[in-house]
Structure 1
Amino acid sequence: MSSGQIVLFDIPSKTGKPWSLNPWKTRLLLNYKGLDYKTEWVEYPNIKPRLEPHVPPNGPQSMAPYTIPTIMLPSGQYVMDSLEIAKVLEKEYPSPSAHVDSPYYDRLLEQTKAAMAALPSVYVTNVYDRVLGEASRPYFHETRTKYLGMPIEEYLAKHPVEESFQAAEQYLRNVTALLKENGQGPFLMGREVCYADFVWGGFLLFFKVMGEDVWERFLKATGDAKVHLDFLEALEPWTKKVD
């Protein structure tokens, strides 16, 4: 039976708080729209058994058939994938609009995908070493070893962190330019929030949780730390609620 609330399925960190960039996108959107929701925390090995009875699997291009974020609407309908969730929430709860169809989404996604492709040495290793609790670490190590084509430790040895940041720097600076494009700021559309802002917000919060050393190096790679710190400050009304 539905409780009347939306349920957000998220993966806990070792502290039991949000960390992953994709669930953050959905959490920020839920908070922005002021929707009543609760979090159901699901460790990595429990994601498939928890979701499989309720939602079709992802396509073969996905890293896993069942992924988080997923939500359950008050109707009992399950929706998986952050962009699909955003489209459904925008349709079901249109006010305030998150402008999910803003062209900034595709423009930003092009840069974040390229940056993530350059940064596995940073995020895979630090999520494993610093973020995840014991229940998720073996699953994460096994699946990311398959994804990287070698054990995490070996990948890090072959792809030093500093070289990875250098490879990602241009893409991160392109995002900085996007945020500066509208002179009114601090958001991509200026003073008005759009879903793409939550995508970038999730990205920033993801790297921030890895530790001050990672966070400072990340900000340096953007070319203008203040732009992103001001952006996060402007997002604070929707980053504080974590359940």
Structure 2
Amino acid sequence: MPEPIVFYDIPRRVSMSEVNAWGPNTWKTRYTLNIKGIPYKTVWVEFADIEPISKKIGAAPTSTKPDGSPFYTCPFIYDPNTRIAVSDSVAIARYLDKTYPDTHPLVPKATAALQQAFLRAFEAEILPGKGELFALMMPQSHARLNERSQPYFRRTREAVLGQSLEEAAPRGSEKAKRLWEGVRSGFHAVAEWLKRAEDGGKELFFGGEGIVFADTVVAAFLTWIRLAFGEESEEWKGVLSWDGGRWGKFAEAFRKYEAVDAGSYYAEV
């Protein structure tokens, strides 16, 4: 039995009935690990600790800041069995496929290029220019973060939005309703891809009968919405009804892969 993978994720404030995990990018990796059944343990990292711990374990930056300096973000993992650190959810999935070939493959070689193209197309539809979904999700996500992470999150997200979080999408406002229509339109476009690619859109997953990494991306965004607004919210109930209930069925299929361990906080390890 291999030693558990160390998975670095960003925590949020939770009640006894909630899970700590919340962000779409880290949910991609959590789904990957859960689907593959690879043992892992979570280390919860506040935003201010992401860069120093990445450097400490040798996790590479995933992009650059406007000033050209390296930008570090979650998710990243450290594999004590190989002493390798890997950043970015796609790279992590590929690494785990290669290193643990007896587990469910999420990026089969024949699909790698197509899945990469899908990821870009999906985010272009769902997060166009950091548009509707970004505006809707940032206030909700900020409200659920631990206090230590909130100032960084507010500063960086408001810079992208060009307005305060409070102004971005007040719940129940006409502005929010228009933004949700934009998000619905994006998901509808993705549903249409499936209809053209498969037999009348009957297939639930993008890989046909089996889950591939592209599916975890869509599931991660849906889970982000559900956790941010709440299971009983009008917003989530609306999402469940889109495209004849397709996205509700899709989200439900991933429920069995939503295990979240208690983990430990970076300051404790």
TM-score by length of 1: 0.86
Matching residue within 107, 110, 115 for 1:99: 107
Displacement after TM superposition at 1:86 (Å)? 1.2
Q: Which residue of 2 aligns with 1:56?
A: 60
Matching residue within 56, 64, 75 for 1:69: 75
Counting only pairs closer than 5 Å after superposition, residues 150-229 of structure 1 correspond to structure 2 as 150-156=163-169, 160-180=175-195, 181-183=197-199, 185-211=203-229, 212-220=233-241, 222-224=242-244, 226-229=245-248
Matching residue within 119, 135, 139 for 2:148: 135
Counterpart residue identity of residue 64, structure 2: P
Q: Which residue of 2 aligns with 1:126?
A: 140
User: What number of residue pairs does the alignment pair up?
Assistant: 237
Tell me, yes or no, if the aligned pair for 2:6 and 2:42 is still in contact at 8 Å: yes
Tell me, yes or no, if the aligned pair for 2:5 and 2:79 is still in contact at 8 Å: yes
Query: CA–CA distance in 2 between the matches of 1:209 and 1:231?
Result: 16
Query: CA–CA distance in 1 between the matches of 2:94 and 2:141?
Result: 28
Tell me, yes or no, if the aligned pair for 1:9 and 1:68 is still in contact at 8 Å: yes
Displacement after TM superposition at 1:105 (Å)? 4.8
Q: Report percent identity of matched pairs.
A: 29
Matching residue within 87, 111, 120 for 2:122: 111
Query: CA–CA distance in 1 between the matches of 2:98 and 2:253?
Result: 25
More displaced, 36-45 or 55-64? 55-64
Query: CA–CA distance in 2 between the matches of 1:78 and 1:27?
Result: 16
Runs of 5+ consecutive residues of structure 2 not aligned to the other structure: 262-269
Deviations 1:183-215 (A, max 9, x none): 453212221111111111111101111122331
Runs of 5+ consecutive residues of structure 1 not aligned to the other structure: none
SS in 2 for 1:55: coil
Tell me, yes or no, if the aligned pair for 1:121 and 1:160 is still in contact at 8 Å: no
CA root-mean-square deviation: 2.6
Deviations 1:36-60 (A, max 9, x none): 1000001112211221232332332
Task: Mark the CA change 1:135 to 1:99 in structure 2 (over 3 Å): closer, same or farther.
Answer: same
Tell me, yes or no, if the aligned pair for 1:108 and 1:175 is still in contact at 8 Å: no
Tell me, yes or no, if the aligned pair for 1:22 and 1:202 is still in contact at 8 Å: yes
Q: Which residue of 2 aligns with 1:30?
A: 33
Query: CA–CA distance in 1 between the matches of 2:119 and 2:72?
Result: 25
SS in 1 for 2:166: helix
Q: Which residue of 2 aligns with 1:11?
A: 10
Query: CA–CA distance in 2 between the matches of 1:122 and 1:45?
Result: 24
Displacement after TM superposition at 1:21 (Å)? 0.5
